[in-house]
Chain A
Amino acid sequence: MPLQVVQVRNDLLGKLGIEDPTTAPAIALDDCVIALNAAMQILQTAGEDYFTRQTLSQNISAGTASYMIAQSVQAILGPIRLASTPLMALESQGQYDQYARIFGGATAFGQGSGTPKAYHVQNLRNGTIGDINRIFIWLAPIPDAFGILSIDVVNDAPGYVVADLSSTAVVPIAQSYTESILLPIARFFITRSTLFSRQELLKPLTADYQEAMRRLGLSGGFPNVDQQLPRREVKA
């Protein structure tokens, strides 16, 4: 059965030696939130193919070169598609600024006008509070007609607050692999709490954490191009 948020809280409190959640001090609940959010953030940054890919739809209009993506988006995954046509990624602002000269044989700076063929992802600082990252997509050539972009993105990790810890909502984890991946990571982070005193647990929890990170790799997270995929063998 998929694990609920409240069950994760209870498990983490147990590692702090608090068996009755109703007696947990505020600092313990704060540490639970930190540990749970840290674990979720690790999963959300584990790699584009760790079940974090979502597809956004973005309308484009004639004459408009850039489009602001929702604040909750963490990263853009390529390729962006215009209808069913994949667009090509540009590597820098400079390539975008001179798109027509570099790739179009033109003499003037700029991107020209037409059906977009390429895009540039721009990450800008936005504001001074909270998530200050804002993503813009710049199209080249600049669209000359309406169209719809399909953009694969990774959204920000879920952010829990203390009030959420009593929720019976199921923790959002791919395949519901909460026990083998999420919990070991969260338990490791709870050992950083000032309330953690069970030193005999530190070694096994650290080992479990390392095993969970290894499994995260096997499950598709942190794809490493230099690492050979594990062989899948079947024994009679």
Chain B
Amino acid sequence: MTTIEIISRVARRARNGGDFTKLSLLERMDVLSAINGAIQEVYDRLPIYLKEQTDGFGLPAPLAITGLVVTNGSKVVTGYSFTAAQIGRSILIEGDGTVNQLIGNGTALSLMNEYQGQSGTVGATIYGDAVYTTGAPFDRIVGDPQFSDQRQWPIMRRNGTPADYQFFGLFQVGRPQFWWVQNMGNSQGNVPTLVMKFFPMPDTAYNVKVRMAYWARRLVLADYDAATTITVLDQFLESALIPLALRQFMLSPAWEKLGPAADKLVLDAADRAIAFLRNQPGQIGAPNNQVGTPFGY
């Protein structure tokens, strides 16, 4: 189903007679918001496997750079054009005995800690020990990352922080064995939301696969223009998505008020949609035991 098709169906309950082509742009955005809310409700209640995909990431080999202009006591470095992909990676700067980290919002990279060496122009080594994903609303990491070579063990999760460096010793470089999540402060508007850190820092290039779950992509005005296909499986459209979108649309001034009895029909349909979503198998590839098992287990 395309964005236009579902807007047309949900806007049947608009107060202008149910013709979305007569809605103002703001009212169409109301419909779009209702659909986005419904999509998020659908995925909130569906099993995780419907949000999951396996992403591949590269952990690059150590990269030696030169011409880095550093200032004692400053977190800002210049003279080298860092890339967004390097956010979160460790950097060892000549003249400073501690491992620092590249952090930033977008491409405005700076250091996690102040540079403690002498001011000047120095060289440095960037270690490919962090990855993050862009362009999708992140939900969670499912399981441990694996090297692309299936014969090797997955990298094990460690409930750690950068302080683990001290436990294993500074500057340990080798084949990554552990990983952890470092949150970057999304509530402060930082991008990315988080990075996956690996330890030891890669001694050479590695490819890893990570099972990750993503929230459904939000529909925006560009989706309306391009009539893109919405990101919900067909079997959940009429049974769940549209009833939930109608309930969300009730919050808009563009909703056609037909009275409490008519509204109750919409609310009841939304409740049935939620029950339907909760009744989906919790996993695929294995029998689903529903005997005596309450919803949610």
Contacts and interface: CB of A to CB of B under 8 A. Distances in A.
Q: Which of B21, B24, B28 has the most CB of A within 10 A?
A: B24
A218 to B, nearest CB: 18
A153 interface: no
Interface residues of B, number: 13
Does more than half of chain A's interface fall in helix, strand or loop, or is it mixed?
Answer: mixed
Interface in B201-254: 220-221, 225
Interface in B135-187: none
A196 B69 CA distance: 98
A118 B221 CA distance: 12
Contacts of A4: none
A86 B225 CA distance: 11
Contacts of B17: 225
A117 B16 CA distance: 21
Interface string B5-46: 000000000001100011111101100000000000000000
B21 A91 contact: no
Contacts of B21: 79, 86
Given A103-B29, A225-B17, A88 B24 contact: yes
Interface in A78-109: 78-79, 86, 88-91, 95, 102-105
A104 B26 CA distance: 12
A37 B220 CA distance: 49
Interface in A114-144: 117-118
Nearest to A105: B220
A103 B32 CA distance: 12
B26 A95 contact: yes
Given A103-B221, A225-B17, A95 B22 contact: no
22 contacts: A78-B22, A79-B21, A79-B22, A86-B21, A88-B25, A88-B28, A89-B24, A89-B25, A90-B25, A91-B24, A91-B25, A91-B26, A95-B26, A102-B26, A103-B25, A103-B29, A104-B221, A105-B220, A117-B25, A117-B225, A118-B25, A225-B16
